[in-house]
Structure 1
């Protein structure tokens, strides 16, 4: 079996390979290699209670091990195997693919969580800036035509939203009430612009979700 390249907090995958029972256990951020074999492992047949030594006493052998260094120590993945008779067989490649698929699913979940957290941070920053600088002219949800002349900014996509604000800075837009908006636009960098845009989009999403719930 190939070495697994990453650690994930996933439930036990116990199966049989030919005449051998196989299980995966792991330990995260363990600080000392000298104590890992006597430390209770998570997952599989270990169940946060059994160490490598305990597993060996029960007839398990270490079929594979992967160690990844971390800032706080190292992550360990152990593949244990126990020879048994009269067990149904399973294709080894299929078992390995199942383990790797679970690790990949966990990775995707972590990426999605990080993206959601980043979205929330941008929305919070955008809310503060919008309420301080923009709400008086553009309305609570960006729905107003500022000074009765501009487009509602909550209908713009990110590209148009960015170009509209940048237009005040580079002189592309200097008509009508541009002199009112220009001082605010000058203070906004690309990050500020995106944060405000994300905040306005979050308001639209809340409104849409609320409408769907009331149907």
Structure 2
């Protein structure tokens, strides 16, 4: 009997690559997990007008979810995918084999975006928003302190210490716009306690006794703000 051995060095394998659309949407600071799927999401194809349920109705499927906690709320990142069977790319690949094989079809999902990079970008955006919110809150607090300090300073201090704290009151005191917060606070406290005397303590003591620690900070913030503004204006000139 003659044995016929057929050695086929190559065969053609056809890959049918079903292209898939991918988009990433997110929601920041959402408190109720029970309502998240009906809440409008930001970013991607959601654009603040579509919820998870809306995306599902349009044929999208949830491919991945990332949830991060923040105080009493959560941040959500959804990755949606929708296969498009109409788009196919035929790829021929040469593969060494021992025997002839029948061409096979393998479905490979191709993402049109880098999910990891997009997720990182969204997380960076959320972190940047957080920093901006903190900075804004600090600015608002600083502004409130400055306005409160302005009212107190103009009513109680300006007549002796000058418009910007640049005058040595009665020729004895220091220029209070040059004091740091610690020295400023200690001076008021010592005037209040009667342990500080630069020659005019009897004038300053009645005002010091009426000032709370917060009042002292507010006046300091106000003086600092107007003197910094003055320096900026002089620098521009």
Give the structure-2-normalised TM-score: 0.69
In structure 1, how many angstroms separate the alpha carbons of the residues matched to 2:190 and 2:223?
20
Worse-matched range after superposition: 192-201 or 24-33: 24-33
What's 1:149 paired with? 172
Query: SS at the partner of 2:151?
Result: helix
1:154–1:76 CA distance, 2 compared to 1 (3 A): closer
In structure 1, how many angstroms separate the alpha carbons of the residues matched to 2:31 and 2:188?
51
In structure 2, how many angstroms separate the alpha carbons of the residues matched to 1:152 and 1:30?
51
1:156–1:119 CA distance, 2 compared to 1 (3 A): same
What's 1:53 paired with? 53
Larger relative contact order (C-alpha < 8 A, sep ≥ 6)? 2
What's 1:14 paired with? none
Offset at 1:87? Answer: 4.1
Offset at 1:58? Answer: 3.2
Query: SS at the partner of 2:49?
Result: coil
Offset at 1:33? Answer: 3.7
1:167 pairs with one of 169, 190, 193: 190
Offset at 1:206? Answer: 1.4
What's 1:114 paired with? 137
Higher strand share: 2
What's 2:81 paired with? 82
1:165–1:27 CA distance, 2 compared to 1 (3 A): closer
In structure 2, how many angstroms separate the alpha carbons of the residues matched to 1:69 and 1:55?
25
How big is the alpha-carbon RMSD for the aligned residues of Structure 1 and Structure 2? 3.0
Which structure's CA Rg is the greater one? 2
1:28–1:189 CA distance, 2 compared to 1 (3 A): closer
Are the equivalent residues in 1 in contact too, given 2:173–2:198 (CA < 8 A)?
no
1:38–1:108 CA distance, 2 compared to 1 (3 A): closer
1:28–1:81 CA distance, 2 compared to 1 (3 A): same
Worse-matched range after superposition: 157-166 or 108-117: 157-166
In structure 1, how many angstroms separate the alpha carbons of the residues matched to 2:198 and 2:144?
34
Are the equivalent residues in 2 in contact too, given 1:23–1:79 (CA < 8 A)?
yes
Offset at 1:143? Answer: 0.7
Any stretches of 5+ residues in structure 2 without a counterpart?
Answer: 1-19, 84-108
Offset at 1:117? Answer: 0.4
Offset at 1:49? Answer: 2.5
What's 1:194 paired with? 217
